[in-house]
Amino acid sequence: MAEAVVSFLVERVGDYIIQEGRSLSGLRDQVERAHTDLLFIKGFLKDADAKRRDSEAIRIFVARIRDAAYDLEDVIEAFVLKVDSKRKGGLKNVLKRLGCIFIEGVSRHKIGLEIGVITTTISDLKQNLQTYDIKEIRDSSTSLELCERQQLLRRTYSHVLERNVVGLEDCVRELVGHLVKEEHRHRVVSIIGMGGSGKTTIAKQVYHHKEVTDHFDCLAWVCISQQYQVRDVLERIYVKLISPTKEEREEIKNLKDDEIPGRLSRLQNERKCLIVLDDIWKTEAWDFLKAAFECHEDSKSRILLTTRNEQVASHADESGFHYRPPALNESESWELFEKIAMSGRKAGIGAEVYTKMEELGKEMVQHCKGLPLAIIVLAGLLARKNTIKDWINIQENVGVYVSRGFGRQEEEHAYASWVLALSYDDLPYHLKPCFLYFGHFPEDHEIRVNSLTRLWIAEGFISLTQQRQSSGETMENVAYNWLNELVERCVIQVGQRSSTSENIKTCRMHDLLRDLCLRKAEEENFLQVVKGSHKNEAMHPISSSSSTVTYVSPMGKFRRLAVYLDENDDKLVPSLGERGGHLRSLLYFGPNDYHWFPKRKELIPSMFKDFKLLRALRIEGMNDREVEIELPREIGNMVHLRFLSLRNSNIKSFPPFLGNLICLQTLDFHVRNDHMFIPNVICKMNKLRHLYLPYDYTARGKLQLSTLGDLQTLNSISSRRCDLNDLAKLGNLRKLKIQLSSSQSKNLEKILDAAGCVLNGIRSLRLDNEVGMESGAEVSQIVARCGQIYKLVLWGPTLELPKEFHSYSNLTNLLLCQCALKGDQMALLEKLPNLKSLDLSDNVFEKNTEVLVFSAGSFPRLQFLRLTDLEIREWRVEEGAMPCLCKLAIVQCRELSTVPDGLRHLTTLKELDIVGMPKRFCSKLEEGGEDFHKVQHIPSLMFYFPRD
């Protein structure tokens, strides 16, 4: 990993030399000398990384190299920022410029001394390479070159854990039987096994099994893990079981802690519920939750839990059914490996090479001992190796790694540990920091991909080669491709994908891989994770071991900090001393990410005092409605910040000193306070790429945004508070949300003509019409300029869509709400050639529209349809409509008396969800009901919360 850190730092320093030559005038020779020495040292670090496991001296030596490289970048960046800010401020008058020159000279002398010390340190380290018998190892191709070449070879493959399932048919059938058959009256069914044995995969197969979805009225899945809050877990279960309206969600949030268990218990007595509790670690967790699961003896509801601890299963239900997944046999192990590592190879490499790879693969798979996770990770590693030589190199290393894995007497997961370590070591240097960054996130945390990739960019992990820049590729594209490579290597799991594009929306890391990640992050001083404190207790670090909370203080300075808090914390940062001054990222996480409530707002200033080199700061979910948080002035000194997210926090104001943060790339100010004043300082942040503003805000005059030429995401711009003329200057804009809060009809056409090229580049557009019917034409005018969009949300009166709307060939996602569309507009919608997802909601058509017709041949590519709160009385689906529909949801359309007869012709329809509909409507669709023949071919028919 030292090679990875130093490699990307060498690139960063090299970029400074090229791009900031003027600012570094007088210091360039020193910086170039240090850069040259680091380049030389880099060639030896692969050997040093291999040897430091067995040598404390080499471990210390490598740590010193890494810290020196970090220090060099810190010093250079701090100086460049200082000089640039002084120059910009000094141009206003001559006296200020003279003062700037003097200050710059003093700073240059001081920084020269600091760089001199670092340069001497690096030079000394270079001289000591021979002392430790560290040899130079150079690769013929750079990591990035290999990555780009492999992407071309494997662009079409995506190996996601849940898609690679082998040997589970019998165990799934047995578990389903114990859940649904009357002769089995087990209240709790448990799946018990070591980490990586496939417990969660089996539970998912059971959860989605047709017999299960047909048998139970409602289902809920929650992951417990080691850090959990009882209220949070029970609330999530209740919400998933009843699919509440917005009003009901608010009611649930206001329930007392002791009211939710009673409601859950009653619901399980009244209806057949299946609740999956995934990954329970301790018996105490069941004790805290069990009040919600107390039911009558004749209750048809069931609990399915997964655990590594047999005591947990016995404690939950002594007479319950316990299932232990067997290891995969030799045939199943090879089948799983072959699916991932060998798919599509034979045609491209020839029979002889394929046979040799098969021979090597079978030998290596034997070491996995039938453990699914180990097989999947090994296969993901080899899937990217395209020559026999590569496979032989891995095979030769397997013996070494296996002996290390079994050498850990305390290691429960020795069968997996060797392959996880091998897979990590095989990562190219540019992916190792990206992999270690996952250590910030709590166990089983669902990570938003957009946020993750922007954090990588803020940290400087992502760089664009000249070739990529010239082709117009963005850092966001590169970051997503790197994430996809980690997924293809099977070291990261996919959470959710886009329903239309298959793009990854969320991801997560398996527990065992997270253990490895934290262990490596500790070794490299890359990251420290700490838990919050109560009363006067000190914060304590979390170890890489999942079962203990111990920590060996790392050598050097750790550069990143993740803090896990709960509702009772009264201390928000640990005592870091001098080490805090070197932090590059500070990320906070509460028990449910969006629902933790600091009790004392005076704690907030203490969080920002000493972190002047911070590049990423995440403080999301401080949403106690009774406490408005005032951001301290210290945050204005964090001039290195690239990423600042305060999403869903109750922030009092947008302070003017945020304008000092001129390096910001992502500013997420989508906060709870919708009535704050925003000063006109955002225009100073001319490196912004992603900007999220509150839904509503005030400003003195119009906010100026024309300087934000790099902006890709703008959410949201209000026509009352912002000048729409600025859109013409935002040439890189791809995602846009506009609130039409005042009529622009007089100048709109002129504004839109000027911004025509920008609007044509928009890929995702949301328009909220808050003015009323008179602005419906304005909505249509804006949409008419956005002919390349793939996602469109229209909220509020629209009346008519552009005449050419039916030809929008890129449009795949469409949501229409309260649009009051005229009746003839359906003819435009149904001709959209590539629309895959359609959501029609709440008075989407003009009043008195009682009949909705989907004509023959309409919506040729539609896969997902949702109808919500429509006042229609009749819905007709003609034969030949929606030939690709996979999922249909009908939600609270209370005037609708029956489903259309045309559903019988939708042979591709796999899921039908009926939510909040009258009981008389639901009873017609049940077996024996008068409309059952219309839906009996649909594999999954679910009813959620029928209404009287």
pLDDT tens-digit series, residues 789-815: 999 999 998 888 999 999 999 999 999
Q: Check whether 516 has a pLDDT greater than 50.
A: yes
Q: What are phi and psi of 563, to 5 degrees?
A: -120, 125
Amino acid letter, residue 908: T
Q: Is-contact 702 725, C-beta < 8 A?
A: no
DSSP 8-state code for residue 593: S
Tell me the pLDDT tens digit for each residue of 561-598. 998 877 666 556 555 555 567 888 999 887 654 444 54
Q: Label residue 107 by pLDDT band (50, 70, 90).
A: low
User: What is the sign of the dihedral through the CA atoms of 747, 750, 754 and 756?
Assistant: positive
Q: Check whether 554 has a pLDDT greater than 90.
A: no
Of 573 and 852, more confident: 852
Strands 504-508 and 540-541: unpaired
Strands 690-692 and 666-668: parallel
DSSP 8-state code for residue 136: P
With a CB cutoff of 8 Å and minimum separation 6, the contacts of 93 are none
User: What is the sign of the dihedral through the CA atoms of 560, 24, 663 and 709?
Assistant: negative
DSSP 8-state code for residue 554: P
Residue 423: which of 461, 385, 387 has the closest Cα?
385
The structure's pTM equals 0.82
Distance between CA 405 and CA 378 in Å, rounded?
14
Beta bridge partners of 765: 736, 792
Q: Check whether 467 has a pLDDT greater than 50.
A: yes
Tell me the pLDDT tens digit for each residue of 156-214. 222 333 567 888 888 999 999 999 987 767 889 999 988 888 899 999 999 989 899 88
Q: Label residue 99 by pLDDT band (50, 70, 90).
A: very low
Q: Check whether 668 has a pLDDT greater than 90.
A: yes
The residue ranges of every structural domain in the chain are: 2-132, 181-323, 423-524, 859-948
DSSP 63-127: HHHHHHHHHHHHHHHHHHHHHHHHHHHHTT-HHHHHHHHHHHHHHHHHHHHHHHHHHHHHHHHHH
Q: Check whether 507 has a pLDDT greater than 90.
A: yes
Q: Look at residue 162 in the predicted model and tell me its pLDDT.
A: 56
**Which region among 239-248, 292-301, 466-475, 617-626 has the lowest average model confidence (pLDDT)?**
466-475
Residue 479: which of 466, 470, 468, 493 has the closest Cα?
468
Distance between CA 484 and CA 158 in Å, rounded?
8
Q: Taking phi first (over 0 means left), then psi (-120 to 50 degrees means alpha), and beta for anything else, what does residue 279 get?
A: left
Q: Label residue 151 by pLDDT band (50, 70, 90).
A: very low
Q: Look at residue 545 in the predicted model and tell me its pLDDT.
A: 43
Q: Label residue 726 by pLDDT band (50, 70, 90).
A: very high
Q: What is the mean pLDDT of residues 546-558?
A: 45
Host H or E run for residue 191: strand 188-192
**Which region among 84-98, 191-205, 750-764, 831-845 has the lowest average model confidence (pLDDT)?**
84-98
Q: Check whether 870 has a pLDDT greater than 50.
A: yes
What is the side-by-side strand order in the sheet with 447-448? Answer: 447-448, 504-508, 493-497
Beta bridge partners of 589: 564
Strands 911-915 and 874-877: unpaired
Q: Check whether 634 has a pLDDT greater than 90.
A: no
Omega before 742 within 30 of 0, i.e. cis: no
Domain 2-132, CATH: 1.20.5
Helix then strand count (H, E) for the chain reads 30, 30
Q: Look at residue 879 in the predicted model and tell me its pLDDT.
A: 94
Q: Is-contact 882 864, C-beta < 8 A?
A: no
Q: Label residue 620 by pLDDT band (50, 70, 90).
A: confident
Q: Label residue 407 by pLDDT band (50, 70, 90).
A: very low
Q: Label residue 538 by pLDDT band (50, 70, 90).
A: very low
Distance between CA 941 and CA 96 in Å, rounded?
73
Tell me what the pLDDT averaged over the chain comes to: 82
Q: Look at residue 91 in the predicted model and tell me its pLDDT.
A: 38
Q: Check whether 131 has a pLDDT greater than 80.
A: no
Q: Label residue 615 by pLDDT band (50, 70, 90).
A: very high
Q: At what angle do helices 94-127 and 28-51 cross, to 10 degrees?
A: 40
Distance between CA 509 and CA 494 in Å, rounded?
9
Dihedral angle over CA of 331, 332, 336, 338, nearest 10: 10
Beta bridge partners of 722: 703
Q: Look at residue 546 in the predicted model and tell me its pLDDT.
A: 40
Tokens for 577, please give them.
Answer: 């001393």
Q: Label residue 553 by pLDDT band (50, 70, 90).
A: very low
Tell me the pLDDT tens digit for each residue of 735-786. 999 988 766 666 778 888 888 889 999 999 999 988 776 667 888 889 999 9
Q: What is the mean pLDDT of residues 890-919?
A: 93
Q: Check whether 92 has a pLDDT greater than 50.
A: no
| Distance from chain centroid for Cα 245 | 26
Q: What is the mean pLDDT of residues 34-53?
A: 71
Q: Label residue 347 by pLDDT band (50, 70, 90).
A: low
Q: Label residue 98 by pLDDT band (50, 70, 90).
A: very low
**Which region among 601-605, 635-639, 831-835, 862-866 has the lowest average model confidence (pLDDT)?**
601-605
Q: What is the mean pLDDT of residues 412-417?
A: 64
Q: What is the mean pLDDT of residues 51-67?
A: 75
Q: Is-contact 679 656, C-beta < 8 A?
A: yes
Most confident of 19-28, 58-67, 125-134, 936-945: 936-945
Q: Label residue 26 by pLDDT band (50, 70, 90).
A: low
Domain 181-323 belongs in CATH node 2.102.10.10: no
Dihedral angle over CA of 872, 877, 878, 884, nearest 10: 150
CATH of 423-524, one of 1.10.357.10, 3.40.50.150, 2.60.40.10, 1.10.10.10: 1.10.10.10
Q: Label residue 282 by pLDDT band (50, 70, 90).
A: confident
Q: Look at residue 889 in the predicted model and tell me its pLDDT.
A: 96
Q: Taking phi first (over 0 means left), then psi (-120 to 50 degrees means alpha), and beta for anything else, what does residue 210 get?
A: alpha
